[in-house]
Amino acid sequence: MKTTELIKKENQFGAKNYKPLDVVLSKGSGIWVWDVEGNRYMDCLSAYSAVNQGHCHPKIYQALVDQAQKLTLTSRAFRNDQLPLLYEELCQLTDSHKMLPMNSGAEAVETVIKCARKWGYESKGVARGRADIIVCSDNFHGRTLSIIGFSTDDNARQNFGPFTPGFTVIPFGDADALEAAITPNTVAFLVEPVQGEAGVIIPPKGYLKRVREICTQKNVLMILDEIQTGLGRTGKLLAEEHEGVQADLTLIGKALSGGFYPVSAVLSNEAVLGLLQPGQHGSTFGGNPLACAVARAALKVLVEENMIDNAAAMGAYFLEQLRQIQHPAVKEIRGIGLMIAVELHENTPGGARGICEALQEKGILCKETHTWTIRFAPPLVITKPDIDWAMEQIREVFAELEG
Ligand SMILES: *Cc1c(COP(=O)(O)O)cnc(C)c1O
């Protein structure tokens, strides 16, 4: 079936909660994807960093198929032989004490909110019903009700209330604001090390270090949402390593399965997860053997195939190449590892969407973030010749841009 026909069906039968580029993909391998017409594109979004390991990685695929032939789901009413191994491997890899498996990223965030509140009441001694969690403006932590309740994006919130109370919003990247906002009822500070959906917003150097000090001093849990920044994207396994700190609780998801399956996890260095008793939290699919086998393989290839170091090296190269674009439409180019953004001036004809559509014509798939920012986040297996090819296309698009 051809592109127009498939798009027509999608528009007729689907909810329009996304505005995708008009490209219908049917195949992927490594950094490349193909549409139903047979055109090839370089994927510079990586499903919002869920396919860090590249599309259809053969070893993850093999793990999925092998496990699917044996056992897929037991529920947590019974034990399975994959979950303990994922627990051990992930805790050893991330230097965590415990982990709790879920499916989507939003579920991991919901889980950590429950756990942080419970810790506040049972460990810190906050009065019943008063626990408060500090979050940042322009955050993105997912789409469930309690999470959008503390979003500052009107489009994400409008007409979905009433919302869950118990959250305080402060500016991102401002450690003094955190210190000032903490009250005796504050149980946690939830933050992205780099704000992805906001447009790759990198906080000032030393921010996470100060956050760590403040949280320790005030007995507040430091929670890092590394669902997008984690697992190699920024050139480190976890972005917290850039500042040599360890969060009390860390959320990962997305690339935890290399894009094969929704798998997320809460990692804990503190005795927080230990407070959960049977029946207080769970998920039918969370920790299922298929998810665990896939996640184990996804972590293994990430490490064994040096994807994290490659992300650091190729990210630096890509950033340096992009910075050589001298075009009046470009306001700023920023990045860390393979999490890169090009921000346009707010009078650029067509905006970021226009550039993304022009790049699509040249065989590169990117997605605009808000109106003026283009994100470049290819799978971590990208090579120098791939980037050189991409740069040729990107340079042409800017050369053809009027103004
Ligand atoms: C994508 C994302 C989430 C939500 O993950 P889902 O799997 O889409 O629910 C949460 N936090 C961050 C930082 C993300 O990038």
Ligand 1 atom closest to Cα of 197?
Answer: 15
Q: Could you say which of 3.40.640.10, 3.40.50.620, 3.40.50.150, 2.30.130.60 is the CATH number of the domain covering 58-304?
A: 3.40.640.10
Q: Is the predicted pLDDT of residue 355 greater than 60, yes or no?
A: yes
Three-class secondary structure of residue 331 per DSSP = strand
- What's the pLDDT tens digit per position in 32-80? 999 999 999 999 999 999 999 999 999 999 999 999 999 999 999 999 9
- What's the pLDDT tens digit per position in 271-320? 899 999 999 999 999 999 999 999 999 999 999 999 999 999 999 999 99
Residue 132 is a catalytic residue? no
Residue 225 is a catalytic residue? yes
Phi, psi of 221 (to 5 degrees): -70, 135
Query: Cis link prior to 162 (omega < 30° from 0)?
Result: yes
CATH class belonging to 3-57+306-402: alpha beta
Residue 300 is a catalytic residue? no
Q: Is the predicted pLDDT of residue 123 greater than 70, yes or no?
A: yes
Distance 29 CA to ligand 1 centre (A): 23
Of 83, 268, 290, 75, the residue nearest 188 (C-alpha):
268
Which residue has the CA at smallest separation from atom 11 of ligand 1? 141
**Where do the domains of the chain lie?**
3-57+306-402, 58-304
Q: What does the mean pLDDT of the chain come to? A: 97
- What's the pLDDT tens digit per position in 142-182? 999 999 999 999 999 999 999 999 999 999 999 999 999 99
Please give all residues whose beta carbon lies within 6 A of any atom in ligand 1, as ranges: 48, 104-106, 109, 140-142, 192, 196-197, 225, 227-228, 253-254
